[in-house]
Structure 1
């Protein structure tokens, strides 16, 4: 009925309503001893799902004396069939299923929203994950899934398909048209197994499934990787999509209002993080979340119930419901007076029901209500405990003047800016952080949600729910202080390395100078053994000086180079080739340069040094019987500039690659190849100072290597790279 617009939307609902009054059993309350059934969507094996949720059902049966609740854990299709057959009264399912039920069965807001328990922490959302085999190197971005086969439990699964499809749609890929979708059925484990058997190129699963399989020993984390990983802040699982609100608890349309009230009272009274909640694997339940993002997802993907055009005509109604319209018109004459009386009675019951539900939703968090003038009409015990007032002191008082009167810095908080006052005026729901004051004058930060109360379409007041976030604020401030201290510590360490390296060169020059004087004085009087000793000492001092110079250069990166400025990426390469012209000519090396060289924002001399070190290694580390062949290719990948330097050198043993890019780390003997062990560590530092990344690929010894680095096209500098973390180590030096 929600698809009708204008005058068409008035006729059909009235006729349907009158017809329903004639149907036997409609609107009849359920008997007190009738058993009710809770249907739960099983996205893991059904026995596991039943075992998880049975403690919650046991708790509800114990909490409500005259309510007997049975549990049915079903996959999506079986749950839909059970709902259609009238076997289910309450549903705990994913948000997409709730949106479908709400539009199809004309349901209102859910009773409550589940708070999941993830790694012993409350989680109010979940997302989708895109898994691909680790060896599938051609799948690097979600766009690469176009034309591929994707395994999923069902196209109807929100976390197992629809979230990923929406993410792909935002990046220009219509997975339903451009790829092959292989449905495996529940549980999500089957989608992962299908991919690992090679029957699909990727698997779409709900967040937490991969970690659960790894924890159970059923999945080797080395054989899969996550495509499109997103930052997840405090969320403990990997994500390929944004977070969406957790599962809602819904009462179906035929459920008696009193039965629904009893159930939601018990559900919201379930202690957060208590033993009963943890036995069910959850943290508890809270006020219904905002499911509009889920509706937006379904509309964008044109998934049920939005798969058809929203425009509907009277002709369409007549074609579809001819018998219904005729029966309704015939019934209207007989039932007109009766329907008016029942409509008035139902409105009175609905008004009382709405007020009662608003009070019940306050359980577990501080909640108070106001009229349009801002005076408190009710407040729960949790709020009184946090504020330190008594019930008599709050009821009838102006909430703003009582505990919302000043800002944290002591400035007066004008009532015209108060979110409770604004919601009472414009009817908008507001979610924000505010500052409340206790009776003793101490202030504390709160997370506040203000919702309007409407009666007959008019705003009559507000309901405000809040919780104390002092502990979270302290944790954020502590993290900020630690970050600042770490920044200062890194700066001091860098300055120390620079000063120490600079001061060490002075005595080293004296050692070299006196050794040279000794050779000149004694000349031919030195024996061959003595000359060898002096050579070793001189060579050691020379290498020590080269290492100190390398350390000086390492410490100067990001501080002493050219400032960041726009430049063409080819310019520093050409300058590096000019510096290496003599080495290239001497070795007979061939250089090939290709690709697109974009405009970047970088330090010119540091990029030159980066190219010079990488190209010098590509020329140097080649077997003596082989002419060096070097290919340099540039490309733009997304918002990054990528450069690959390919050589035909001695290659890198895969077992040794973890040592790459470390300071003073060498993979080759100094007798075969000279070097200080700092060159590639310097490259890594230059790249990280530009906010980029660097790496190497090699099939093994004598197979050549490809060194690559990526820099952002727009300036996005790293905060401070560590002088020598456990990064991938150095190449040959």
Structure 2
């Protein structure tokens, strides 16, 4: 029995050793997975069908790697590259440029060579097609304004190459009537033959392959902008560009990339029977980059930053030449203007020049006959050309002011040969008057040239300026009086506000005095009533008289209250060193009776460390009174329970900050910005005139150089949230 157990134990050990050896061997010889992404330019199924033989070949060739085919859209490929869940990929050249700019790549591994009748093609191009019976489209320029169909706008051979040809011909994408995307090149051809679109964009070789498969008749198709290239068997309308690149991501082991490239370069012709002839070393994609730049395709769809310094660095020589040329032209233009004004101009040159001038021109010879009149003069004078050329100049140019003065500036120039400039009213053929400026110059031929222009608008503008100047003068004359009136109005308004401020403060003081005196007066009344009853009953004792001392103490406290309030109202207008918390407790003492009566609890934090500053303690007490009164009013009005006001004293970086936070429901958003304005109140007029917070802000500005801010903020009381108004008083600490 023992011997059998030992044999069983040895068998178990042998089985375990075999299992471990099997696992180790499998892990030792397991192939590393290489994820190979391919752009689905033919659609998922067609692209997969084309590239599956290539992947099968790679897996047979590679001994240490297993290639996994991933057929993806461009968006999916971008995402997978971003996630680093692809190792090697192939796509069209323009998409490759975008990926190269955005992501870290290991470089181009190889360039595709397509198979064509036993030959290879390492270049691709685009074809522009229309129906053979379409007589309206024969050249690139005919495509402008037409409807276009393409596999997609991301296809290199199916859209971008054609658009670049149109761009070079002066046609932009925006010049097309529409662009319809139909996913595949075969669908594009079908759209054209079915007359669903006017122009189609496809890749080279598609027409020939469809004809070979008896899917179309090439006689039904017309190729626009047909080009011929040596050793290129397909019809094409565009420049040829490098075929698809195969590229590796930077995270892939360089040894895997080399073995993958070696496998691609080792493909023999006709090994892959899906249109792939083989792969060559990486091509030059500069032509594709130039296309992408011109069409502003990603990654060149965003213009680079370009400064004036960049312009100078690139074009400094041309800029200098242009500046010099501009200066020379300016000098020459100035000299020419002087020459045209001063020189005697020959008749033939004068007529050709004056015919195009933008003003009325009349040339009169020495016999006082008009020999040249331009179209502007004809229009302004109201004559026709024949009438002007035969009329005596006195009838042609009748100047109202000159005639009334018995003068003629034209004859004066004939006599003294001097150039004149005159403003006058020209009498037109219909007798109406036209304000003009005339320049009259003598010519070597013995005649004069008269240039005149309509100055109606200038006169109207001048009159407008005069009217405005008069208004401005009147405004300046009245401005001082208006300022005096406004200053007096503001002074009176300020006096009214100050009076109302004093009345408001006095009203609050009287209210608080009434609260303070109510209980002591009640005590005095009660005690005196007791004494009167005892006196009438004859039970008055000496001890009762001694208790009158209590009345004295009460009246003394009332007197002290009057002194406190008088001190608060009159104030000490000399700055003094005082404790901030003491000013608050002075306000609290004044309001304590009404606070207790209304069950309002004040919670103070930060009182352990006293804060001192130089300033005006009574004025600060008034600020506390205004804010606490507001909190009390809102808590009572809204019947909030419990009624809490939290006060905090904080000293930060030589600044003093005091917060007063109630749980009264907060301030409405539409009025919170107005609460510090004078006369702004939401209370009944019997409760105030809206000056409390305005006074508080004014005190902080005038006496402390400080500010008061208000906002709504949550408060936690017994694990429950309450919304309330939080006032923050802040000012600089002064030594």
Sort the TM-score into its range (normalised by shorter chain): 0.3 to 0.5
Structure 1 or 2, whichever has the larger Rg, is 2
Highest RCO, 1 vs 2 (Cα 8 Å, sep ≥ 6) = 1
TM-score by length of 1: 0.36
TM-score by length of 2: 0.36
